[in-house]
Amino acid sequence: MTNVLEIALLVVPLLFAIILHEVSHGWVAEKCGDPTARMLGRITLNPISHIDPIGTIILPAVLLLTGSPFLFGWAKPVPVNFGNLRGGRRDMALVALSGPLCNFLLAILSAIIFHLTFVGASGPAGVWSKIAAPLHIMAHLSARINLVLMVINLLPIVPLDGGRIVVGLAPEHIAFAMARMERYGMLIVLLLIASGIWGYVVNPVINVFWKILM
């Protein structure tokens, strides 16, 4: 039972983080003129609509079972028809930015909940402590997960959001060259994780935000 509870405390904030990340893409795209995500039923908190077999189930499970120091995953990308966006490439950058921004706001909210539940979680046993303790742990995990997702997605690698932001704002010849690399993007990310280079690039940035919030 304890293991089931520990997994639930970890999986619930992970699902919220990756689902709200994708929903924010669809919502901002709709505000910028593209209703594709809405028409396909992707602006919803229903996890079934967003589950990606590899990014939402297999990869997090492998990281969890192997005792990885971080948990990472992704949902099925929300479809965006960039031709419908009123602001062209500028709006594409806004749509891309919305995901990491959502994770940053969730990290701030999680940090607030973490601090508010500290007394209850560490105080004498009672009804409030039974509620505050799991919330405290979940908020701690949620803050970390959302910071990881924010920093990772801001890496300038297409199809990550950071890459799409660069494609949306860079001169056309640079944007075109980066767009052509999209097919290799996730492979590059996985190689960064497997090689350990990941820790030297991502962890220092995450730790800065962690010290500020927590």
C-alpha pair distances (Å), 178 with each of 96, 137, 143, 159: 15, 40, 31, 9
d(CA 210, CA 70): 14
Phi, psi of 81 (to 5 degrees): -90, 100
Task: Report yes or no: 153 and 97 within 8 Å, Cβ to Cβ.
Answer: no
22 part of the active site: yes
Active-site entry in 22, 30, 172, 182? 22
Identify residue 113 by its one-letter amino acid code.
I
Query: Hey, which residues are catalytic here?
Result: 22
